[in-house]
């Protein structure tokens, strides 16, 4: 079984600042994906970014980028030029990939990110 | 594209009754759908995985007789909470994986269940 750990229950930064959310995971699997999901007050889960474990290059999506350290089993999310709309719960998630396809997601406990005006 | 809907968005029921929640993929065929549960201010926990036309696979600790899952078509999965009790009150979220993009799960908006 795999575990996902987010050690920061809450973070608060000023608008336009850069913030990094931490995530570590533990697994014995070799084929897997890692995700960051955002859950605003509406509770709709929104995919922020994903990383395939076999790729060495860190994924980026506009203001969002990850620092994927496979050996250390670390997967942090960096948000640049933070905006008020970034305020939300952020979940780090692990997905095993096998012959039958992808499994369900294992989520961390989440980090509540607050962007202050 | 890749829209998943859930119905109802919220439901209140009396203890002992059964409640059915629907999860539909609106613009793609979902070979696999997942059901998650989220308690207030907590994370999502995977309850079960359902593949079209076959029995659902439940996670350890999830009562399969209480949470009945049916995935009768490539666009619809249902979760029925049988003989609901107040402790079943929670936020239930489904996700769907398409045939063409098996690496990504698309989430529904969730259903808030309150059992009185």
Rounded CA-CA distance A20/A62 in Å is 15
Partner-chain contact B44 A104, CB within 8 Å: no
A116 with A15: CB under 8 angstroms?
yes
Query: In whole angstroms, what is the distance from residue A47 CA to residue A61 CA?
Result: 11
Q: Please give the share of chain B, as a percent, with pLDDT higher than 90.
A: 72
Q: What are phi and psi of B86, to 5 degrees?
A: -55, -35
Least Cα distance to A46 among B102, B98, B100, B109 occurs for: B109
8 Å CB contact of B91 and A43: yes
Tens digit of pLDDT for each residue in B56-97?
Answer: 999 999 999 999 999 888 899 999 999 999 999 999 999 998
Q: Report chain B residues whose CB lies below 8 A from the CB of A106.
A: 46
Provide the 8-state DSSP code for B47: E
Residue by residue, pLDDT tens for chain A (117 residues) are 889 999 999 999 999 999 999 999 999 998 899 999 999 999 999 999 999 999 989 999 999 999 999 999 999 999 999 999 999 999 999 999 876 666 899 999 999 999 999
Both ends of chain A: CA-CA distance in Å? 41
Q: How far apart are CA B5 and CA B76, in angstroms?
A: 10
Cα–Cα distance between B23 and B5 in angstroms, integer?
Answer: 6
Chain B residues closer than 8 Å to A102 by CB? 32, 97, 102-103, 105
- Indicate the DSSP class of residue B41: T
Interface test with A, best of B4, B9, B37, B43 (most A CBs within 10 A): B43
């Amino acid at each position: 079984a795999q575990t996902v750990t987010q050690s920061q229950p809450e973070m608060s930064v000023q608008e336009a600042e850069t913030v990094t959310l931490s995530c570590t995971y533990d697994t014995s699997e070799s084929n897997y994906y890692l995700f960051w999901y955002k859950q605003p007050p509406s509770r709709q889960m929104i995919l922020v970014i994903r990383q395939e474990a076999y790729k060495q290059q860190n994924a980026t999506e506009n203001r969002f980028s990850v620092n994927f350290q496979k050996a250390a089993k670390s997967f942090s999310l960096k948000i640049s030029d933070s905006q008020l709309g970034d305020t939300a719960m952020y979940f780090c998630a692990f997905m095993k990939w096998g012959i039958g396809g992808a499994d369900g997601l294992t989520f961390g406990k989440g980090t509540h990110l607050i962007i202050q005006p | 594209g890749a829209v998943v809907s859930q119905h109802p968005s919220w439901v209140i029921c009396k203890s002992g009754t059964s409640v059915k929640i629907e999860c539909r993929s609106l613009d793609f065929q979902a070979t696999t759908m997942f059901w998650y549960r989220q308690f207030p201010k907590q994370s999502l926990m995977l309850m079960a995985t359902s593949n079209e036309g076959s029995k659902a696979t439940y996670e350890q600790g999830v009562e399969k007789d209480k949470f009945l899952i049916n995935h009768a078509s490539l666009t619809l999965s249902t979760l029925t909470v049988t003989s609901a009790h107040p402790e079943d009150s929670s936020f239930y979220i489904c996700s769907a994986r398409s045939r063409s993009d098996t690496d990504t799960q698309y989430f529904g908006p969730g259903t808030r269940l309150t059992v009185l």
